[in-house]
């Protein structure tokens, strides 16, 4: 490897110059300021620097809003790099650590010319934000991708089910570091990929399949009076999305749908698609009308002049709010004869609908009936899994995971119109971090990318998302640990946290009780380290309240949980019906968990984890040719969990009356079951009382404050 020399230039308050330099020289005596038989070489020139800290800044010198003048040194020194930019990266990182400023201005000159323009590097002295929201150190030991991406004539970058995860995954326990890129990094990545597409003279489209709402503090942690995801959605608008489709989470609350209709859809200029989802509004003439939330379909031309017809389809969702409508897929497609009549160069079907076991074939067949050979690219979503299949040789369907844990890549090599041969497709599931842009770390961040990262952190600060309840002693997961166990989030919630949180200001807390909730109430793993407001909203986001039935004989109460979990054959039939109904209302955790289990089994997870040569992450087997995962991992451990969980009953006699406590979400099922396990009394909603003012999404925070401080 050849040694390359660069010049690092930075600005530092004059009183700190020698401290910074001597630190850097002692740390890197060979790499920094070494020229022949001389070391500690630097050129220093003095001047006056000026800056004004903006709101959100945490300045070491000066006040927010006031222009500040500081006597500064411009320091130039030589960096000897072995050719992989590693020494440069180390030097800049060390400079960030020792430099007194929150933002450090550096530039790097190759001796043959300007290598990288002036750029800001974020370094915060107090470690407040960055420990929680800062981008993970790009030098964290992540497994690199296994191979380069395959490009075609049409290439698609796909996101889906982002659910507010725009600050990425910042916890240190694996698999989280795989997904450590934030939306600013993603913006930089997209911009580099767009340049590569131009160099290759091919088309590159950016597409999203919906569910922008509900999942993290950024979308849900807004102060009272705010609108779900309104603020976080502003960052999505800044990326050059070609097509976006509506998800079911955009339809649970009318005010959110209206916000999408009025304030989000217009920025996509006709390419925010809702082929079968409408909203009822009052039009300019004062009439009440039902209109598409975005647009029904879109026709456009790519940069390379290819004609595209695009639809945005939502699965048969039934949990939508009043004054919104979702038309069944098979009814919708009957009205699309005109839209699909003309033949484009390809169909781009984007939708919030899983690529397997759902209704894409209705849409596909309707198009194939008119256009037997036109390429059809399908980008689906909703079940949060990585999946791919081909409905025929001239089509591919891709689903790209969830929560910014996966970026989908789909490429197709087109042939002549009317050809009946199979098209060469490729698909890839990328872990969202900083690989694949053909840029070194130092060249990775674009100005817009940095600006988005900064804006997201400002929003997190405004919502006070780093408010810390306590420090989690270790990881608590939903399915990586058995239930019940010390490392199970479900055990933590039902056995430890719930009894503590519901006892507060509760005169009934001394009365023996059984507490029951659904396991779906826990939505995301809780990792070791600071447990913040953001983590609370992520792990247990539902604002459900707790109810109870007083004086239920223990002998009846103790049968409720096992019966809810399908002890009997009758219950199993009921449970299938219930699952179907829950699926319609948008509940997908069961599908996701089933997939995790399958991936663990198929890929010999136990043996491969024992071998210990790869990091934990997604391991995908799908129905498309070749391997889909971009980075090789071993699958996450999987343990199946029951649908319902309950606190361990106190030691009481069978005939003792106890309080049967449960979350309001399961009220109907619980009453139904209680009335089958005993016939002495018919319980109705009239017997149900409020148990505690504490809501489900406050339980872990209250517990952390007491137990983890």
List residues binding Zn ion (CB under 5 A).
161, 211, 247-248, 382
Report how far residue 659's alpha carbon sits from residue 676's, in angstroms, rounded to the nearest whole number: 18
Kindly tell me which of 135 and 382 has the beta carbon lying closer to Zn ion: 382
**Closest by CA position to 94, among listed 77, 111, 116, 82:** 77
Q: Which is nearer to Zn ion, 123 or 332 (CB)?
A: 332
DSSP at 264? I
Return the sign of the alpha-carbon dihedral for residues 467, 473, 479, 483.
negative
The alpha carbon of residue 35 and the mean position of all alpha carbons in its chain are separated, in whole angstroms, by 47
Nearer to Zn ion, 203 or 211 (CB): 211
69: tokens are 């003048």
Residue 315: CB minimum distance to Zn ion, A: 8
* Cβ pair 82, 28 in contact under 8 A: no
| DSSP code for 14 | G
Helix H, strand E, coil C: the string for 135-152 is CCCCCCCCCCCCCCCCCC
Closer by beta carbon to Zn ion, 183 or else 425? 183
Residue tagged 């390379």 (tokens) = 304
CB proximity list for 35: less than 8 A, separation 6 or greater = 41, 78
CA distance between the termini of the chain: 51
* Residues β-bridged to residue 553: 657
CB 688 within 8 A of CB 523: no
| Phi-psi category of residue 551: left, alpha or beta, with phi > 0 → left and psi -120 to 50 → alpha | left
Cβ of residue 230: shortest distance to Zn ion, in angstroms?
18
Report in angstroms how near the CB of residue 312 gets to Zn ion at its nearest: 13
CB 13 within 8 A of CB 61: yes
Query: Measuring CA to CA, which residue among 595, 520, 598, 633 is closest to residue 355?
Result: 595
645/482 Cα distance (integer angstroms) = 13
Report residue 436 as tokens.
């694949």
Give the shortest CB-248-to-Zn ion separation in angstroms.
4
Q: At its nearest, how many Å lie between Zn ion and the CB of residue 509? A: 37
Q: How far is the CB of 405 from Zn ion (least distance, A)?
A: 12
Question: How many CA atoms are closer than 13 Å to the CA of 698, on its beta-carbon side?
Answer: 13
Query: Smaller CB distance to Zn ion: residue 161 or 445?
Result: 161
Cα 25 to chain centroid, rounded: 41
How many angstroms separate the Cα of 658 from the Cα of each of 269, 504, 683, 687?
59, 19, 15, 14
Closer CB to Zn ion, residue 105 or residue 582?
A: 582
Torsion over CA: 133, 135, 139, 145 (sign): positive
- CB 393, min distance to Zn ion, A: 29
Distances (CA, A) of 300 to 205, 228, 307, 414: 12, 31, 6, 18
Q: Of 53 and 247, which has the nearer Cβ to Zn ion?
A: 247
Q: Min. distance of Cβ 163 from Zn ion in angstroms? A: 6
Residue among 11 and 595 whose Cβ is closer to Zn ion: 595
- Min dist CB 567 to Zn ion, Å, is 31
CB 316 → Zn ion: shortest distance, Å? 12
| Closer residue to Zn ion in complex, CB, 125/253 | 253
The CB-of-19 to Zn ion minimum distance in angstroms stands at: 50
Distances (CA, A) of 278 to 296, 375, 493, 638: 9, 28, 38, 39
Give the C-alpha separation, 269 to 243, whole Å: 10
Are 497 and 705 spatial neighbours (Cβ–Cβ below 8 Å)?
no
Residue 67: phi and psi, rounded to 5, are -70, 135
The nearer residue to Zn ion, 384 or 633, going by C-beta atoms, is: 384
Choose between 248 and 373: whose C-beta lies nearer to Zn ion: 248
Minimum CB–partner distance for residue 499 and Zn ion (Å) = 31
Nearer to Zn ion, 159 or 620 (CB): 159
C-alpha–C-alpha distance, residues 195 and 201, integer Å: 10
Q: Which is nearer to Zn ion, 99 or 382 (CB)?
A: 382
**Residue 249 beta carbon to Zn ion: minimum distance, rounded to whole angstroms:** 6
Shortest distance in whole angstroms from residue 238 CB to Zn ion:
22
Distance CA 4, CA 420 (A): 53
Min dist. Cβ of residue 355 to Zn ion (A):
14
The two three-digit tokens of residue 385, written as one number: 């899994």
Least distance (Å) between residue 382 CB and Zn ion: 4
What is the C-alpha to C-alpha distance for residues 78 and 350, in angstroms, rounded to an integer? 51
Bridge partners of 519, per DSSP, are: none
- Closest to Zn ion by CB, 212 or 516: 212
Q: What is the DSSP string of 631-663?
A: S--BPPP-----SEEEPPPPS--TT-EEEEEEE
Residue number with CB closer to Zn ion (73 or 211): 211
Q: Which of 570, 577, 560, 461 is nearest to 517 (CA)?
A: 560
Q: What is the DSSP letter of 9?
A: E
Listed residue (380, 452, 447, 390) closest to 158, CA to CA: 380
Closer residue to Zn ion, CB minimum distance, 351 or 375: 351
How remote is the C-alpha of 475 from its chain's centroid? 19
- Closest approach, Cβ 432 to Zn ion, in A, equals 16
> Helix 589-602 vs helix 569-584: angle between axes, to the nearest 10 degrees?
110
**Which of 329/688 has CB closer to Zn ion?**
329
């Amino acid at each position: 490897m050849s040694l390359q020399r660069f010049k690092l230039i930075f600005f530092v308050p004059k009183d700190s110059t020698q401290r910074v330099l001597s630190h850097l020289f002692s740390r890197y005596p060979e790499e920094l300021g070494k020229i022949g038989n001389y070391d500690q070489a630097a050129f220093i020139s003095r001047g006056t620097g000026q800056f004004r800290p903006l709101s959100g800044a945490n300045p070491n010198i000066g006040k927010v809003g006031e222009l500040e003048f500081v006597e500064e040194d411009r320091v130039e020194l030589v960096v000897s790099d072995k050719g992989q930019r590693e020494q440069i990266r180390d030097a800049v990182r060390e400079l960030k650590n020792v430099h007194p400023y929150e933002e450090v201005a550096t530039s790097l000159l190759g001796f043959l010319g300007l290598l990288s323009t002036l750029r800001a590097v974020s370094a915060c002295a107090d470690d407040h934000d960055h420990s929680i929201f800062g981008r993970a150190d790009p030098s964290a030991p992540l497994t690199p991708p296994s191979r380069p991406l395959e490009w075609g004539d049409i290439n698609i970058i796909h996101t889906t089910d982002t659910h507010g995860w725009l600050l990425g995954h910042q916890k240190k326990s694996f698999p989280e570091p795989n997904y450590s890129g934030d939306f600013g990094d993603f913006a930089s990545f997209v911009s580099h990929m767009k340049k590569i597409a131009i160099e290759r003279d091919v088309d590159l489209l950016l597409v999203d399949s919906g569910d922008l709402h509900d999942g993290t503090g950024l979308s849900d942690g807004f102060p009272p009076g705010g609108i779900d995801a309104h603020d976080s959605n502003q960052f999505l608008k800044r990326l050059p999305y070609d097509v976006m489709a509506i998800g079911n989470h955009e339809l649970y609350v009318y005010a959110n749908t209206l916000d999408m209709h009025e304030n989000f859809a217009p920025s996509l200029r006709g390419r925010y698609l809702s082929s079968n989802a409408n909203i009822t509004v009052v039009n300019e003439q004062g009439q009440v009308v039902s209109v598409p939330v975005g647009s029904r379909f879109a026709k456009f031309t790519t940069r390379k002049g290819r004609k595209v017809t695009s639809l945005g389809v939502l699965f048969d969702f039934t949990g939508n709010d009043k004054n919104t409508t979702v038309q069944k897929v098979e009814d919708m497609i009957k009205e699309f004869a005109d839209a699909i009549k003309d033949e484009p160069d390809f169909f781009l079907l984007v939708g919030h609908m899983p690529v397997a076991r759902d209704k894409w074939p209705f849409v596909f067949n309707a198009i194939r009936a008119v256009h037997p050979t036109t390429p059809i690219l399908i980008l689906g979503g909703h079940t949060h899994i990585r999946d791919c299949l081909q409905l025929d040789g001239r089509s591919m369907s891709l689903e790209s995971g969830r929560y910014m844990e996966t970026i989908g890549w789909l490429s197709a090599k087109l042939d002549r119109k009317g050809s009946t041969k199979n098209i060469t497709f490729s698909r890839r599931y990328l872990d969202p971090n900083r690989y694949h842009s053909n840029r070194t770390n130092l060249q990775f961040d674009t100005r817009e990318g940095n600006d988005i990262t900064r804006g997201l952190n400002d929003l997190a600060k405004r919502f006070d998302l780093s408010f810390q309840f306590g420090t989690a002693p270790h990881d608590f997961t939903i399915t990586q640990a058995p239930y019940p166990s010390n490392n199970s989030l479900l055990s933590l919630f039902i056995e430890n946290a719930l009894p503590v949180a519901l006892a507060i200001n509760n005169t009934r807390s001394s009365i023996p009780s059984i507490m029951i909730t659904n396991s779906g109430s826990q939505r995301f793993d809780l990792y070791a380290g600071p447990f913040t407001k953001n983590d609370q909203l992520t792990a247990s986001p539902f604002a459900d309240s707790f109810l109870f039935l007083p004086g239920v004989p223990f002998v009846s109460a103790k049968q409720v949980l096992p019966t809810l979990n399908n002890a009997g054959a009758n219950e199993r039939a009921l449970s299938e019906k219930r699952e179907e109904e829950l699926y319609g209302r948008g509940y997908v955790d069961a599908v996701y968990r089933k997939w995790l289990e399958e991936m663990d089994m198929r890929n010999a997870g136990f043996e491969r984890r024992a071998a210990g040569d790869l990091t934990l992450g997604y391991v995908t087997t799908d129905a498309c040719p070749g391997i889909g995962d971009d980075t090789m991992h071993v699958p996450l451990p999987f343990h199946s969990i029951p649908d319902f969980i309950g606190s361990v009953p106190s030691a009481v006699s069978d005939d003792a009356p106890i309080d049967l406590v449960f979350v309001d979400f399961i009220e109907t099922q619980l009453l139904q079951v209680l009335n089958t396990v005993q016939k002495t009394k018919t319980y109705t909603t009239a017997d149900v009382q409020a148990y505690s003012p504490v809501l489900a999404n406050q339980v872990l925070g209250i517990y952390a404050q007491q137990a983890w401080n």
